[in-house]
Amino acid sequence: MDEASNGTPLYLQIAERLARAIRAGTLKRGERLPSVRELAAQETVSPSTAVQALRWLEDARLIAAKPRSGYFVASRPAALPEPQASRPAPRSRVVQLDELGQAVLRQSVLPGLISFGAACPEPDLFDQERVRRAFTRVVQRHRDLLCTYPLGSGRAEVRRAVARYALGLGCELQPDDLVMTSSCMEAITLCLKAVTKAGDVVDLESPTYFGFLEILQSLHLRALEIPTPPRHGMVLAALQLALETQPVKAVLVVPTLSNPMGSCMPVAERKRLAQMVAQHDIALIEDVIYNDLAEQEDKRRAVRSFDASGHVMICGSFSKTMAPGLRLGWVDGGRWAQALHKIQSVQSGAQTAVVELALADLLNQAGSAAALRQLRATLARRVDEARALIADSFPKGTRVSDPGGGFILWVELPPGLDALALYAACMAENICIAPGAMFSASPRFRHCIRLGVGGRWGEEHPLALRRIGALAGQMLTVAISQRAA
């Protein structure tokens, strides 16, 4: 790979120069870019470097390829302001959730419902035949495993495959340190059990994934929510203050495409975060489940890649990028690896061997990079379409995130709108959304909703998005009238 003397790959330098020109308006929407051969000649680089630069811009949704025509500056949906960051929480909270999150999950898969409530891509976005063939090969070669009780922390083959995969996240993991789990959520639960006890304080993003709050509640842990703007992720200055003033025992974070905000932490902040937890001698539990969906390659780098002291516990799975039905997760516990192995052996034991071997087969196959590019491109088009519909049909004052990948949008409704009431109104019309109250231990996000656009997407979904906007507009009108009266 061509690389400049300062260590920055040439393809990235070229891509960033073109990106700046596009964002500044020097290159306008619809304008044709140089071909691969022309760009290579202009920049005096190899054609492969020019291809890498154009793919980076394509992943960032700044350009689009047209068959037999070349690359053009992409059109983007109408701009909307992004949601505002929450204020720092003055103290930790006991997590007391109702059944709302689980109810939304159940409703999101009901037949006949138009769902924006789930946070998982639809089956048709994955290569189902490729997954079937992998399972068939494993069962044919290892049919005895179906009648063999599994033991240990995971098959050696799958742990080696995950360790190789982690190199793409910038991490050098040892296969023997890895533990295979039933899901990424189980991996996170194991990490929390290894480093906390009931009553301890855990820092996490605000808003945060409701499943994390459910885990904290089940373990009787206290949540201290740290502001997380939609652009750059958790505010490290606020985290630093919390570490200095509160008895924090662990930090739980999703640096890439956090759910529900969709934020991506800059690389320099990831390095700083690794240093912070080492200085305070506490565990950082990093969820990398969405890293492969980030449009920009540098945002796929894990915080663990900067960890020199073993304070970062890294958890992941392939349910968002390869095959949700595999239901396998993985974790490396860093300096707590031995404790984590013991807890896992007592709590759940080994996973199904044929599933682990099928995952190893899939991870070792060539062509996964191309499949991921296609998945990212499909989801990016969905997100752009949804953002354009929100800009056109939601009431004035609405704010919406502009994530750098993935399939989740965080919508901040105008003041005076109750997202729980909007959720009920939508459900009455067989439309499922996720109210913001699910994503915090406090009531601060009652005027927000999360929209997942990775699920099944038919002609009815754009119409349903417009209907959500219309219902929100009607409710806002009523609220304004009531205040005026």
Check if the beta carbon of residue 117 is closer than 8 Å to that of residue 461. no
Amino acid present at 171: C
Q: What does residue 95 show for φ and ψ, rounded to 5 degrees?
A: -85, 120
Distance CA 7, CA 12 (A): 11
Which is it for the CA torsion 430, 215, 441, 232, positive or negative?
negative
> Is CATH 3.90.1150.10 the right assignment for the domain spanning 99-124+372-484?
yes
Judge if 10-73 and 126-364 fold alike in CATH terms.
no
Q: How many CB atoms neighbour CB 119 within 10 A?
A: 24
CATH number attached to the domain at 126-364: 3.40.640.10
Domain boundaries, the chain: 10-73, 99-124+372-484, 126-364
pLDDT in tens, the chain (485 residues): 455 545 568 888 898 889 888 877 788 878 899 999 999 999 999 999 999 899 888 877 788 888 878 999 887 666 678 888 777 777 888 887 778 888 888 887 788 899 999 888 888 999 899 999 999 999 999 888 887 888 888 999 999 999 999 999 999 999 999 999 999 999 999 999 999 999 999 999 999 999 999 999 999 999 999 999 998 999 999 999 999 999 999 999 999 999 999 999 999 999 999 999 999 999 999 999 999 999 888 899 999 999 999 999 999 999 999 988 888 999 999 999 999 999 998 888 788 899 999 999 999 988 788 788 888 888 988 998 999 999 999 999 999 999 989 999 999 999 889 999 999 999 999 999 999 999 999 888 999 999 999 988 999 999 999 999 999 999 999 888 877 76
d(CA 14, CA 9): 9
Which of the four CATH numbers 3.10.180.10, 3.40.50.300, 1.10.10.10, 1.10.150.240 does domain 10-73 have? 1.10.10.10
Cβ partners under 8 Å of residue 420, min gap 6: 435, 437, 446
pLDDT at 227: 93
